[in-house]
Amino acid sequence: MKRHGQTRQWTKFSSNSPKPQTPYPSLKGPDAAEGQKSLFSNIWEHGLVFLPETPPTTEATIEILNTLGPIRHTHYGGFWDFTSEVNPIDTAYTNLSLPLHTDNSYFTEPAGLQLFHLLSHMPSTTESPQPGDFDPSLGGESTFSDGFAAAAALYHIDKKAYETLANTGIVFTAEGSPAGTFRNDLSTRPRGHPVLGHNSTRAHYSPDHLTQIRWNNCDRSALTRFSGHDIMLDWYRAAKLWDELLSSGDFEVEVKLQPGEPVVFDNWRILHGRKKFEGKRRMCGAYIGMDDFKAGAGRLGVL
């Protein structure tokens, strides 16, 4: 399925410009069907959507998730409700900054959607922060990038680099989980998956046929399966250019998440990251499968 016929690529939006929004109250009541269609349409067109006026509770967050589809369970569990940890199994559970990335790059099929809802963020000296408590001075701004827009720019800057990232499989890995090690190089894809996934043959690698971004440099495994030295050098050159595009700031927006305004984004399209933060921060959310999202979007007439 082509992704670009009904999508709107973006590079920047400021805090003063309108963000893609579907207010939480619109998902309830007699006009709930229209609210649901707005929710799915925003995700499909823009890749992400914010839901203002949401109660800062796990119950309201789960209601949104159930509107999108069944929660996808992984080795992180189903619904997350977490704070930063001393000995985390993943950098997401620290207070460190995170570069732009997609989640589950080490799965053969990464999750389709991801929801984040910041429930509270207060100084470390605060005893028992309550849902809705929020100090905006503590950092932790979220970063987002439209991977389709960045990929289109790469295509026009250096077509060879684009094609290299589209036709060269890469292995990603997640280690240290009690559930075991996860890798995206099963027998059906012994060389892993490309950074830029397409629904077409090699002869038609272009942004018009791009369906998925798979990129997390922190989870990239050792690159030992190239068929030749020149191919390896080509990949490193292309990956360097791609990483420079993402880190340039030209394709990145910074958003201060706050209680009562969760964000949902397309994990196959939108890269996300985070600035370092201080204090006690409580976040909740979950994954939704891409097939479940597309089924719902089709039911509502979005696709």
CA dihedral 103, 105, 106, 108 (to 10 degrees): 110
Q: Which residue has the tokens 């207010």?
A: 23
216, 163 in Cβ contact below 8 A? no
Nearest 5°: the CA angle 91, 93, 94 is 70
pLDDT in tens, 189-236: 667 899 999 987 666 799 999 999 999 998 888 776 677 788 889 999
**C-alpha R_g of the chain:** 19
pLDDT in tens, 78-91: 999 988 754 455 55
Please tell me the distance from the alpha carbon of residue 253 to that of residue 22, in angstroms, as a whole number: 19
Please tell me the distance from the alpha carbon of residue 244 to that of residue 248, in angstroms, as a whole number: 6
pTM listed for this prediction: 0.91
> What is the per-residue pLDDT for 109?
94
Percent of the chain past pLDDT 90, that is, above it, reads: 69
Angle between helices 58-68 and 290-299 (to 10 degrees): 70
> What is the per-residue pLDDT for 203?
64
Q: Greater confidence, 108 or 182?
A: 108
Q: Residue 163 pLDDT > 60, yes or no?
A: yes
> What is the per-residue pLDDT for 89?
53
How far is C-alpha 93 from the geometric centre of its chain's CA atoms?
16
Please tell me the distance from the alpha carbon of residue 131 to that of residue 43, in angstroms, as a whole number: 26
114, 290 in Cβ contact below 8 A? no
Burial of 186 (0-12, 13-18, 19+ CB in 10 A): exposed
54, 262 in Cβ contact below 8 A? yes
Fold for 1-303, please state it.
Answer: Double-stranded beta-helix (3.60.130)
Please tell me the distance from the alpha carbon of residue 3 to that of residue 129, in angstroms, as a whole number: 42
230, 237 in Cβ contact below 8 A? no
Q: Residue 1 pLDDT > 50, yes or no?
A: no
> What is the per-residue pLDDT for 2?
47
Please tell me the distance from the alpha carbon of residue 296 to that of residue 288, in angstroms, as a whole number: 11
